[in-house]
Amino acid sequence: MEKALLIMKFLNLQVWQRSVELSAEIYRETAALTDFGFRDQITRSALSIPSIIAEGYERESLRETRRFLDIAKGSTGELFTQVIVGNKAGLLDDATAQRWQKESEELGKMLGGLRKRFLEP
């Protein structure tokens, strides 16, 4: 796939759109948390997923784009872990934690598939 076709196309990616929605939901749902360290960490990891996808798609080479998709996929694992910790620490209720775990896992799978489908040499 020619790089020129990828520029700003991240806006149309379902994985980008869903990660934006998840990030916004996490910001809303954690706004009242008084554990500022946890709140900052979980919101930053959620925000990094769509941000890194966008950054990767704006890079000049397919190699760089692939690398950024790998980093975004790693951020889904980071978020997944933080949700588990937040639930075990009593900061997130079971239903919210399960929903966010499922979505972060699905986003990771989508990113893996995107990398393989569109960007493998």
Most confident range, picked from 3-12, 81-90, 108-117:
81-90
- Does residue 88 sit within a domain? yes
46 contacts: CB under 8 Å, gap ≥ 6: 19, 22, 23, 26, 27, 79
Residue 35: predicted pLDDT: 96
- For the record, the structure tokens of 36 come out as 């500022």
pTM for this one? Answer: 0.89
- Does residue 48 sit within a domain? yes
- Does residue 91 sit within a domain? yes
Residue-number span of the structural domain to which 62 is assigned:
35-119
Q: How many domains does the chain have?
A: 1
- Does residue 20 sit within a domain? no
- Does residue 2 sit within a domain? no
Confidence band of 1 (pLDDT split at 50, 70, 90): very low
Confidence band of 46 (pLDDT split at 50, 70, 90): very high
CATH number at residue 111: 1.20.1440.60
Average pLDDT for the chain: 90
- Does residue 26 sit within a domain? no
Q: How far apart are CA 104 and CA 6, in angstroms?
A: 24
